[in-house]
Structure 1
């Protein structure tokens, strides 16, 4: 599987996990609970781990730098897709959600939609870097299980 396919597939996984969790929270009336946003890093780490695992298993790729690139690319694209989802949700479905986000202690202030998007991207990229480094610590000494026959 190509690196691009691995990145895109697992970025979509991250986006679906974050979006699904948001709508599940909304179903239970917890979409305004800012503490639940901390769980998004779990979804990012799951997507990163699966992307690196796929790279190792399908491509026999054990190069740290290559797999870190896949990890960061996956998480950064997942963050971008998720931020676009928030933008669509606030713009088309629930414009009042911007006020709710502005009143939370995590955002705080009176941000415009563009400032909010910028904030979410910066926050997401920071978690992408940290999450990628965390996952790569697990895989740094991983060897591909390639059988060599004489």
Structure 2
């Protein structure tokens, strides 16, 4: 599978997991709980791990920087997809959700949709970088193990 397909596939997976979790949270009335947003990092880590693992297994790519870049691109694309989802949700489904986001301790204040999007982008990219480096700690010696075997 090409790296572009891996990136798109696992970015969609991450976005789907985050979207499903958000939908479940909203069905039980917990969409305003800011602490649940930290669980999104788990979904990002799962998607990054699967993308890198698939790249190693299917494409036999063991280069650290290549796989780190794959993880970063996958999670960055998932951030973009998720932000598009948030914009769609606020614009077409629940315009009142913007006030819930503004009351969140992570955002706080009286921000416009554009300012919330920028905040989510920065927050998402930070988790993308951290997540990619965390996952790569498990795969950093993968090529060394194969070379000695």
1:24 aligns with 2:21: no
* 1:28-55, Cα deviation, whole Å (9 max, x unpaired): 1111111000000000000000000000
Q: Which runs of 5+ in 1 are unaligned?
A: none
Q: Which runs of 5+ in 2 are unaligned?
A: none
Aligned to 1:121: 121
- Give the alignment's Cα RMSD to 1 decimal: 1.3
**Structure with greater proportional helix content:** 2
Secondary structure of the residue that 1:48 maps to in structure 2?
helix
Secondary structure of the residue that 1:123 maps to in structure 2?
helix
| Offset of residue 145 of structure 1 | 9.2
| Offset of residue 143 of structure 1 | 3.4
Aligned to 1:63: 63
Contact 1:56 1:144 in 2 (8 A): no
Aligned to 2:89: 89
Structure 2 CA distance for aligned equivalents of residues 145 and 9 of structure 1: 28
What's the TM-score once normalised by structure 1's chain length? 0.95
